[in-house]
Amino acid sequence: MAILVFIEQREGRVRSVAREALGEAVRLAAALGGPVVGVCAAAADPGLAALGDAGATEMLLATHEAFRHYEPAGYVRAVVAAVERVKPSVVVFSASSMGRDLAPRVAARLGVGLAADCTALAVEGGRLVATRPVFASKAVQRVAFTGTPAMVSLRPKVFAAAPSQNGAAPTVTPLAIDHDPAAARSRVREVKTTSAGKVDLTEAEIIVSGGRGLKGPENFAIIEALALALGATVGASRAVVDAGWRPHGDQVGQTGKTVSPKLYVAIAISGAIQHLAGMSSSRCIVAINKDPDAPIFKVADFGVVGDAFEVVPALTEAVKALNARS
């Protein structure tokens, strides 16, 4: 049986999370057998043939003028049509904003279970077992599926992107769907960019977060400067978001975003349980805090006890010097 992968595109470009989903689908196919087939909804081909060396043999492409933006009703039709056509054992989405909205709709339409925001997939005794964090990563749940296809969405930045294999380009097959945008009763009128050129926290390689110890919103300048030097995205603790220093979109933790960057730098954040939950799956954690007893040091790989206002600018200069050399 095939494995179907939803290929997410935005503004005519295939998103990096789609490569992660493809990569995991290829690994699953090695255990479950069957080809990997992609399905994409777009206004025009976003360059699916270029994903050829990523392991999919066929790409089903549903095109419609209305698919320039995310169009849930039409996208659901496209994925359901692809499921009916290839009869997959597993359907793989990314747990991105789009995937988290779309996958449950497809699951409800098909009447099957969906394991959302998975961090690992395995095949045990011939069946798929999904591992997913719950309670904002304070615990981990393993789930199996009672129906077919099994549906999963994958947490961004956790799975390795499909490697180049120099294989043949996949066949791009048009997928005919019957879609009437007027009947959909919802339409994306516009997409307003809120952080131009910045990588979202959920997809960032490096995150520099600041907490209440910074004493005021203006002092986030030292966080921004370090983030710029590291090529990082700025995050924040709940305390500073609730105080109105930073927008909600910056919040890392249980009522904010759960993140898994390769490097997480927590500055002047004491480490409330809700914050630790949201960032403790980061590959490497650095804590800078003047309180040596702060709970953040319990999860940090490397800690510096000291005043953020002295340590952070010095670190920024050191990183800049490093960048200048390389």
Rounded to whole angstroms, what are the CA distances from 286 to 106, 107, 206?
40, 39, 11
Chain-centre distance of CA 4, in angstroms? 18
Residue 212 near another protein by CB under 8 A:
no
Comparing CB distances to another protein, the nearer of 26 and 287 is 287
Spatial distance between the Cα atoms of 137 and 298, rounded to a whole number of angstroms: 16
State in angstroms the smallest separation of the CB of 39 from another protein.
18
State in angstroms the smallest separation of the CB of 176 from another protein.
22
Residue 147 near another protein by CB under 8 A:
yes
Applying CB under 8 A, the span of 34-42, 54-62, 207-215, 257-265 interacting with another protein comes to 257-265
Applying CB under 8 A, the span of 24-32, 36-44, 133-141, 157-165 interacting with another protein comes to 133-141
Adjacent-strand bridge partners of 321: none
Comparing CB distances to another protein, the nearer of 89 and 280 is 280
Residue 142 near another protein by CB under 8 A:
yes
Q: Using CB under 8 A, pick the residue from 198, 215, 216, 243 that binds another protein.
A: 198
Contacts of 165 (CB under 8 A, 6+ apart): 53, 54, 55
Residue 291 near another protein by CB under 8 A:
no
What radius of gyration do the chain's Cα atoms show? 21
Spatial distance between the Cα atoms of 41 and 20, rounded to a whole number of angstroms: 18
Residue 224 near another protein by CB under 8 A:
no
Residue 160 near another protein by CB under 8 A:
no
Binding mask 90-119 for another protein (x = CB under 8 A): ------xxx-xxxxxx-xxx-xxxxxxx--
Residue 70 near another protein by CB under 8 A:
yes
Instruction: Please compute, for residue 152, the number of CA atoms within 13 A of its CA located in the half-sphere on the CB side.
Output: 32
Comparing CB distances to another protein, the nearer of 43 and 112 is 112
C-beta separation of 150 from 112 below 8 A: yes
User: Can you say whether residue 215 is alpha, beta or left, with left for phi > 0 and alpha for psi between -120 and 50 degrees?
Assistant: left
State in angstroms the smallest separation of the CB of 127 from another protein.
10
Closest CA to 6 of 99, 109, 123: 99
Spatial distance between the Cα atoms of 126 and 31, rounded to a whole number of angstroms: 8
State in angstroms the smallest separation of the CB of 262 from another protein.
5
C-beta separation of 39 from 99 below 8 A: no
Applying CB under 8 A, the span of 59-67, 137-145, 164-172, 217-225 interacting with another protein comes to 137-145
Q: Using CB under 8 A, pick the residue from 73, 120, 161, 169 that binds another protein.
A: 73
Residues 40-59 that bind another protein (CB under 8 A): none
Three-class SS of residue 114? strand
State in angstroms the smallest separation of the CB of 326 from another protein.
10
